Structure 1
Amino acid sequence: MSGAASSARPSRSGGGWQTFVADLKQVRASILILLALLIFNALFTPYFLSVQTLNVNLTQVATIIIVAMGMTLVIATGGVDLSVGSLMAISGVLAPLIFLNAAFANAQWLGITLAFIVPVLVAGAFGVLNGLFVTRLKLQPIVATLVLYIAGRGIAQVITNGQLQSFTVPGFSYIGLGRPFGIPFQVILMLIIVALTYWAVRRTVFGRSVLAVGGNETAAGLSGIPVARVKVAVYAITGLLSGIAGLIVIAINSSSDANQVGQGMELDAIAAVAVGGTLLSGGRAQVLGTLFGALIIQLIRYTLLARGVPDAAALVVKAAIIIIAVALQQRRRRE
């Protein structure tokens, strides 16, 4: 494994602060790009430094980062998950069906509580199914998750008969519209998830196992690591995080549309991981890199929109970013 990949391994010793600084050094290129974008917009984009603009950008990128944390783990094992957007849609259509159900008319708090739990668990269960497709049926990850990429959104559309579900339920909408201490609630949730993912990769046996499986699956199996269980676990985690992201999206919009929730999320998440420096071939997990990668992509999109470039052009830019990131990865590996 390369020196860069080795630096992404969980540390058994050494101070946590020194480890964190070392990880920041590994993604210094992403940090410099992000700083350049921030400075450019601060100088040339009106109102960029306003609280409103900051909140808008953080709100839009929070769900991408949440899903990308799971995608980082999946890609670190040498896999990929194309179903994340569809799992967001499934979670997003299930929640209103629960908290708007007449059975909870006199106990709305119970309906809201279940709406936070059940859809996320369902998305997680579909993630387990992805993992079983990969480990039991021996399907290539891109093929295994393509099944739910197609069928998952179809399931969401069938559940609602393709109809938009609108609602006004403050208790539920807080996950997307709440502002504790003036900070968007989903941003706080996102930071917690990033911190937990970083801790898991750097400090736990599970994190070491993820990197070992992605680095050399055969050797990992021979060393006693339960390869199949690790793979199923990362797909399950990605499903759970996709379910959370789906709830945030519908809470922001106060409506659930099976046709729109999670659209293109798979591309956003993969792009964030690739730009952040996680090898798409596996064996490395740059959690902080994924965070900065998502912020870079969001700022590029904002910069283009602020200059009148159509949003559709951002898709082309994202694709170009992935190609460039992969090309740079290949170059580093050859060196």
Structure 2
Amino acid sequence: MLALASRYGTAAALVLLIVFNLVMTPNFVSWQTLNVNLTQVAPIVIVATGMTLVIATGGIDLSVGSLMAIAGAVAPMIFLGTLFPIDNPSLAVGLAFVLPILVTMAFGWFNGLLVTRYAIQPIVATLVLFIAGRGIAQVATNGNLQVFKNPSFQFIAMGHVAGVPAQVVLMLVVAALAFALIRLTMFGRHVLAVGGNEKAARLAGIPVRRVKMLVYLISGALAGLAGLVVVARNSASDANLVGLGMELDAIAAVAVGGSLLTGGRANIFGTLLGALVIQLVRYTLLANGVPDAAALVVKAGLIVVAVYVQQRADRS
């Protein structure tokens, strides 16, 4: 029974939430409701996908929310010309997509360096940028709100591809690529081996240090991408708020989705479902007049239940 709950519990919870809302929540069946929930969950899934890879190696990345803030701060500074002047608007927009992600990849590399070369525990290593990263973003913008309107840049969040919101398409592409990476590549097998038994993986000749470096690099890149989506959707960049609490949402999505927090398992599809469950719980509570603060309590409860079921299922 516990094994079934571990494997199908997230999907079952999502179905139950949908059924509850069909019965109890007015106007649940509408394109507007679907659009709101999917666009709200897209950045969570993008960040949680990178988090899944990190956790699969036995690590954790607390810096993702702050890296979102850094990417969200850098992008508007480029096409607004406050970072350095660029005469070509198209070039400026192109750089606004590329440069912030390169910056967050560099910070991801820094996280990986602390974990691998200096053998600092992942929770401590990434806590450094959890604290300092948002400060970097605030210093870069002088703590000011950056308001902008740039349709070319904002297409990533406000555009549509065949009628589907662009950020939802981006979310699905990221999840699909990560799924293929884990299931179809040698690197994916190495990720699971490192998380399952690092000592055995090292003895088997797997480049443990390189694998860990790469997952933190990927996590940094995806955090940067999610940061661009958020600021593009809001038409503004606020270093104080972009990505705030995202690390907790990402970890919750991974836990609820069935990936072991101790490493050795990476359920990308489960992470997607877990993020949807978390978002739909929040929507359900708000739509039925429950304060948003209650969603935090429910989210914590979901994590506890998910971890408990995983542990019991593994023991059995």
TM-score, with structure 2 as normaliser: 0.96
Which residue number corresponds to residue 72 of structure 1?
52
Give the drift of 1:27.
Answer: 3.6
Q: 2:243 aligns with which of 240, 247, 262?
A: 262
Read off the aligned partner of 1:288 and give its amino acid letter: F
Residues 1:89 and 2:42 aligned together: no
Aligned mates of 2:300, 2:138 — CA distance in 1: 27
CA deviation map 1:64-91 (0-9, x unaligned):
0000000000000000000000000000
Task: Name the residue aligned to 1:154.
Answer: 135
Match of 2:100 in 1: 119
Give the secondary structure class of the aligned counterpart of 2:199: helix
Tell me what 1:233 maps to: 214
Counterparts of 2:173 and 2:160, CA distance in 1: 16
1:174-323 to structure 2, matched below 5 A, reads: 174-323=155-304
The amino acid across from 1:248 in the alignment is V
Give, as a single letter, the amino acid of the residue that structure 2 aligns with 1:297: I
Percent identical among aligned pairs is 64
How far apart in 2 are the matches of 1:211 and 1:105? 44
Shift of 1:105: 5.7
SS of structure 2 residue aligned to 1:121: helix
Q: Quote the Cα distance in structure 1 between the aligned partners of 2:263 and 2:253.
A: 15
Paired position in structure 1 for 2:13: 33
Deviations along 1:11-50, one digit per CA (max 9) or x if unpaired, are xxxxxxxxxxxxx997422111111111111122111110
Question: Which residue of the other structure, out of 27, 43, 63, is the alignment partner of 1:47?
Answer: 27
Which SS does the other structure have where 2:29 is aligned? Answer: coil
CA RMSD of aligned residues (A): 1.5
Which one-letter code corresponds to 1:98 in the other structure? I
1:244-303 CA deviation, whole Å, 9 max, x = no partner? 000000000000000000001001000000001100000001111111111111110100
Kindly indicate whether the alpha-carbon contact (under 8 Å) linking 2:43 and 2:171 is maintained by their aligned counterparts in 1: yes
**Aligned partners of 1:25 and 1:189: how far apart in 2?**
30
Q: Please state how far the C-alpha of 1:169 moved relative to its aligned partner.
A: 0.8
Q: What does residue 20 of structure 1 align with?
A: none
Distance 2:19 2:51 in 1: 29
* Unpaired runs of at least 5, structure 1: 5-23
Q: Which amino acid aligns with 2:200?
A: A
CA distance in 2, matches of 1:226, 1:165: 43
| Count of equivalent residues | 313
Distance 2:302 2:61 in 1: 19
CA contact (8 A) 2:68 2:224 kept: yes
Amino acid at match of 1:66: I
Task: Provide the rounded CA distance (Å) in 2 between the counterparts of 1:278 and 1:117.
Answer: 30
- 8 Å contact from structure 1 (residues 104, 110) kept in 2: no
Q: Would you say the 8 A contact 1:200–1:207 is kept in 2? A: yes
Q: In structure 1, what is the Cα distance between the partners aligned to 2:267 and 2:194?
A: 16
Instruction: Give the whole-Å Cα distance in 2 for the aligned partners of 1:319 and 1:166.
Output: 34
Counterparts of 2:305 and 2:101, CA distance in 1:
34
Q: Give CA-to-partner distance per residue, 1:127-160, whole Å, 9 cap, x none.
A: 0100010001111100000000000000000001
Post-superposition shift, 1:180?
A: 2.3
Structure 2 gaps, min length 5: none
Larger displacement relative to structure 2 (24-33 or 210-219): 24-33
Q: Which amino acid aligns with 1:31?
A: A
For 1:219 and 1:91, how far apart are their aligned partners in 2?
37
Residues 37 and 273 from structure 1, CA distance in 2 versus in 1: closer, same or farther, beyond 3 angstroms?
A: same
- Counterpart in the other structure of 1:163: 144
